[in-house]
């Protein structure tokens, strides 16, 4: 101890006050409740677990929150009570609560047919949709009774971890998006009639995530963060990033069980530790993508049913959430799977619990009938299924056993002192980019942004208002890199801005970016959204389009710039098409001479069109002139191919006249 504090009563007092909050033997946080400390220390020691965190709540009061061991052993960072962890399948309860919130608002019903809400996500060409798919309800998805069996007794196929299979089948780049996974599965047979059995299905909750997006008009993450978590006083919970370069502030390092092939194209590392590219965390948002702290998850659990005040859900919703489903598995069972949680009736009420598990992550939560909530997160997972089941059972029994040994519970509430709620208005106003496909090619609305091409950033509170650049924003023939205090950084380089709004930013990517998954960040008057990872590539051709009667058409004109006739283009006619992402270009220059570019392949109705010219005519915009081949009238699919990369399917060109001789 430094000399000025020797024999000082002040020093003794300070140590008595501060020691419980300091790091002692690898523990951090609030004062311990010894049986729970013993349990966590024993668990980490027995299994050689790097680190973990624990929250203990009674009657809505946070009695203890502590970190144990190392959050990041390589960098010698200790686990904290507010360390962030991937929570894996504990995400499902967040999705279930969100669905019930929408039911309460009249935007969904539990007996509503799920796939009728996703008419655009159709089965792949050449596959047959199972007729039973149309009978699957929202309740079936919530209770894992939709008809899919991921276990070895069923198909043994979990599509949420099968990106290579799905991308190969659909001919798309990886990782398989949430939507493409649904398209693929619509072409697969169900394993059983919906409602008949309980079979755990990550995929069913992926479908729920997309339904939430359809009925709210917001991304899943955006709706949950602003309309569910923010009213609970939760601001730091978000969808995680897959790659190590995307670790969030305060997020732990995950201990891997070996290496595997990287599902992310053009990433520098083709073999990666399982937790960092073995699957797509962002694509699993609704069933396993959330990253949070034990404290905020405890805050969420207590808010759902009002253990800390008003209940987020109504009593009717909670009754529906915990009711015994009709699946045969639960006919005479003492416990069952409700909506996102296991439920067991006991004297005086119900116990709820759920586990979460992906490589590098083990999570567990218990809500007891007598007022307790216990939350455990670990940055480690056993390597075998038997080991996973054993550690979950050990955590469950260990928490109950620790509770039984406590003779006197502390009269404190660290929710009110050390870890208070964030003001709901402030939480809802936090700026963020949606982690799942929040940075897209502005033409294709798909992944893949090329240096000098146009991209879109989607999220919430991205700008104070809506406006595009004006002549006053141009300096020395350069587009602005800031509008109303809003700026965008791609791999640390400023991007050029076309327009900003609270929900969307149109930007031109900086030139000379390397290919790969690079960080993108928005700053609003120096307040950061935090970063997400975006796919930057050398070729991502996309036609600018418009919608008419539910069909996506390529924007096209006559070669002199005048509009096409109402009927569309005619065979033999030269038309101009407008595109971005054909190849890397310079960025930020407002006006310059047209520059010739490499000609793409253009196919219309499956027939190669003769391409006459391709030129860069403005910032990130190419004009392609091509001759329409001889073909029947009607909507004809149009595709660009640049260096072997195709533009997305589903874009059409109106052709006005019939093929000659018809």
Helices first, then strands: H and E counts in the chain = 13, 36
pLDDT for 154 equals 63
Ramachandran assignment for 452, one of left (phi > 0), alpha (psi -120 to 50 degrees), beta (any other): left
> What residues does each domain of the chain span?
88-402, 437-536, 542-655
Residue 653: both structure tokens together: 């060109």
Quick check: do 437-536 and 542-655 share a fold? yes
pLDDT for 101 equals 98
CA-based nearest residue to 491, from 473, 517, 471, 524: 517
The percentage of residues in the chain with a pLDDT greater than 90, rounded to a whole number, is: 87
pLDDT for 561 equals 86
pLDDT for 658 equals 55
Instruction: Say whether pLDDT at 119 is over 50.
Output: yes
Residue 323's Cβ-count burial label (10 Å; 0-12, 13-18, 19+) is middle
Domain 88-402's class? alpha beta
Domain 542-655's class? mainly beta
pLDDT for 268 equals 65
Average pLDDT on 631-656 reads 93
Q: Vertex 111, ends 108 and 112: CA angle to 5°? A: 50
Average pLDDT on 225-245 reads 97
Least trusted range by pLDDT, from 46-55, 144-153, 264-273, 617-626: 264-273
pLDDT for 27 equals 82
Average pLDDT on 561-577 reads 90
Distance CA 453, CA 610 (A): 24
pLDDT for 25 equals 38
pLDDT for 11 equals 32
Least trusted range by pLDDT, from 112-121, 459-468, 565-574: 565-574
**Banded pLDDT at 125 (limits 50, 70, 90):** confident
Element holding 396 (H helix, E strand): helix 385-405
pLDDT for 660 equals 43
| CATH number listed for the domain at residues 437-536 | 2.60.40.10
β-strand partners of 627? 574, 610
**Banded pLDDT at 4 (limits 50, 70, 90):** very low
Average pLDDT on 362-367 reads 98
pLDDT for 123 equals 92
Instruction: Say whether pLDDT at 659 is over 80.
Output: no
Instruction: Say whether pLDDT at 662 is over 70.
Output: no
- pLDDT tens digit string along 101-115? 999 999 999 999 999
Q: Nearest 5°: phi and psi at 556?
A: -145, 155
Residues 6 or more apart whose CB falls under 8 angstroms from that of 319 comprise none
pLDDT for 565 equals 82
User: Is 452 in contact with 587 (CB distance < 8 Å)?
Assistant: yes
User: Is 426 in contact with 520 (CB distance < 8 Å)?
Assistant: no
- pLDDT tens digit string along 20-71? 333 333 688 999 999 999 999 999 999 999 999 999 999 999 999 999 999 9
**Banded pLDDT at 584 (limits 50, 70, 90):** very high
The CA-atom distances, in angstroms, between 312 and each of 97, 104, 307 are 9, 11, 10
How confident is the prediction for the chain on average, in pLDDT?
Answer: 92
pLDDT for 87 equals 98
Least trusted range by pLDDT, from 409-418, 502-511, 549-558: 549-558
Q: Vertex 233, ends 232 and 235: CA angle to 5°? A: 115
- pLDDT tens digit string along 206-218? 999 999 999 999 9
pLDDT for 593 equals 75
pLDDT for 23 equals 36
User: Is 330 in contact with 324 (CB distance < 8 Å)?
Assistant: yes
Distance CA 542, CA 509 (A): 15
Q: Residue 61 half-sphere exposure, CB side, CA atoms within 13 Å? A: 9
pLDDT for 112 equals 98
Instruction: Say whether pLDDT at 173 is over 90.
Output: no
- pLDDT tens digit string along 366-394? 999 999 999 999 999 999 999 999 999 99
Instruction: Say whether pLDDT at 19 is over 50.
Output: no
Ramachandran assignment for 99, one of left (phi > 0), alpha (psi -120 to 50 degrees), beta (any other): alpha
Distance CA 338, CA 496 (A): 49
The percentage of residues in the chain with a pLDDT greater than 70, rounded to a whole number, is: 94
Distance CA 353, CA 344 (A): 9
Residue 396's Cβ-count burial label (10 Å; 0-12, 13-18, 19+) is middle
pLDDT for 558 equals 92
């Amino acid at each position: 101890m430094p000399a000025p504090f020797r024999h000082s009563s002040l020093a003794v007092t300070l140590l008595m006050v501060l020691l419980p909050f300091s790091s002692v033997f690898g523990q951090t946080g609030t004062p311990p409740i010894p049986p729970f400390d013993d349990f966590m220390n024993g668990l980490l020691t027995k299994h050689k677990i790097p680190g973990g965190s624990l929250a203990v709540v009674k009657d809505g009061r946070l009695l203890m929150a502590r970190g144990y061991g190392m959050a990041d052993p390589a960098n010698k960072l200790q686990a904290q009570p507010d360390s962030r962890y991937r929570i894996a399948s504990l995400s499902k309860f967040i999705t279930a609560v969100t669905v019930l919130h929408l039911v309460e608002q009249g935007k969904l019903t539990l007996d509503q047919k799920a796939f009728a809400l996703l008419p655009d996500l159709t089965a792949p060409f050449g596959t047959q949709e199972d007729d039973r798919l149309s009978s699957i309800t929202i309740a079936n998805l919530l209770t894992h009774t939709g008809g899919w069996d991921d276990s070895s007794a069923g198909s043994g196929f979990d599509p949420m971890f099968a990106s290579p299979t799905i991308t190969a089948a659909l001919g798309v780049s990886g990782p398989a998006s949430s939507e493409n996974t649904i398209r693929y599965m619509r072409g697969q047979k169900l394993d059983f009639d919906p409602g008949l059995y309980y079979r755990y299905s990550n995929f069913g909750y992926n479908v729920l995530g997309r339904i939430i997006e359809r009925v709210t008009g917001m991304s899943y993450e955006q709706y949950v963060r602003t309309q569910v978590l923010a009213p609970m006083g939760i601001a730091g919970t978000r969808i995680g990033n897959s790659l190590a370069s995307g670790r969030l502030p305060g997020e732990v390092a995950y201990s891997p069980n070996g290496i595997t092939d990287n599902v992310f194209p053009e990433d520098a590392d083709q073999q990666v530790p399982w937790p960092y590219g073995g699957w797509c965390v962002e694509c699993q948002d609704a069933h396993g993508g959330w990253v949070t702290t034990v404290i905020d998850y405890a805050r969420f659990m207590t808010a759902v049913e009002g253990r800390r005040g008003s209940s987020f859900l109504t009593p009717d919703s909670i009754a529906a959430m915990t009711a015994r489903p009709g699946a045969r598995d639960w006919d005479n069972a003492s416990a069952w799977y409700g909506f996102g949680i296991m439920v067991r009736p006991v004297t005086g009420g119900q116990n709820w619990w759920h586990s979460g598990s992906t490589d590098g992550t083990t999570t567990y939560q218990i809500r007891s009938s007598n007022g307790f909530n216990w939350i455990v997160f670990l940055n480690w997972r056993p390597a075998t299924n038997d080991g996973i089941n054993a550690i979950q059972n050990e955590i469950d029994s260990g928490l109950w056993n620790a509770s039984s040994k406590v003779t006197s519970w502390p009269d404190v509430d660290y929710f009110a002192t050390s870890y208070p709620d964030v003001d709901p208005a402030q939480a809802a106003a936090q700026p963020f980019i949606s982690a799942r496909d929040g940075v897209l090619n502005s033409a294709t609305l798909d992944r893949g942004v090329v240096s000098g091409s146009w991209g879109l950033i989607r999220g919430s509170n991205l700008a104070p208002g809506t406006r595009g650049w004006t002549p006053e924003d141009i300096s020395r023939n350069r587009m602005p890199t800031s509008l109303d205090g809003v700026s965008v950084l791609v791999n640390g380089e400023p991007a050029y801005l076309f327009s900003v709004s609270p929900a969307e930013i149109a930007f031109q990517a900086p030139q000379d970016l390397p290919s790969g998954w690079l960080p993108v960040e928005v700053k609003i008057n120096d307040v950061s959204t935090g970063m997400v990872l975006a796919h930057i590539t050398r070729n991502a051709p996309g036609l600018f389009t418009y919608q008419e009667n539910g069909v996506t058409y390529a924007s096209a004109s006559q070669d002199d710039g005048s509009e096409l006739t109402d009927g569309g283009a005619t065979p033999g006619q030269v038309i101009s098409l407008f595109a971005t992402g054909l190849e890397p270009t310079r960025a930020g220059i407002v006006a310059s001479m047209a520059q010739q570019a490499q000609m793409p392949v253009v196919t219309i109705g499956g027939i190669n069109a003769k391409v006459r010219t391709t030129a860069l005519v403005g910032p990130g915009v190419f004009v392609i002139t091509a001759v329409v081949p001889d073909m029947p009238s009607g909507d004809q699919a149009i595709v660009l191919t640049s260096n072997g990369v195709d533009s997305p399917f589903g874009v059409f060109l109106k052709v006005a006249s019939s093929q000659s001789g018809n």
